[in-house]
Amino acid sequence: MNLGARMLAAQPADVPPPAKAVRSPGHTDPLLLALSGAATALSILIGCAFSIGTGWASSSSVPMLAAITACIFAQLTTLRRPSPSS
């Protein structure tokens, strides 16, 4: 008797099938996701160009704040309008 047959024989027959996996809510609009990612990347790149172009000593915080702001707004958008869980 092979391993698969032994494992199947060891399971009781009255075990119910596993429950259907519940899909967690997430982004369902790929175009909106792509546009949001492009806008975030563009704002960080503009902040980096500003930082390098001006030579300002404390300007390294500009791209960091752009990234943090994008993350906060992305979270607020998700909380305001959650995607359907169907």
- Using pLDDT thresholds of 50, 70 and 90, give the confidence band for residue 71: confident
* pTM exceeding 0.95: no
Do residues 63 and 47 make contact, with C-beta atoms less than 8 angstroms apart?
yes
The DSSP secondary structure of the chain, one letter per residue, reads --HHHHHHHHS-TTPPPPPPPPPPP----HHHHHHHHHHHHHHHHHHHHHHHHH--TTTTHHHHHHHHHHHHHHHHHHHHSPPP--
pLDDT at site 46: 94
**18-62 pLDDT tens trace:** 677 666 665 567 787 788 889 899 999 999 999 999 988 888 899
Domain boundaries, the chain: 28-81
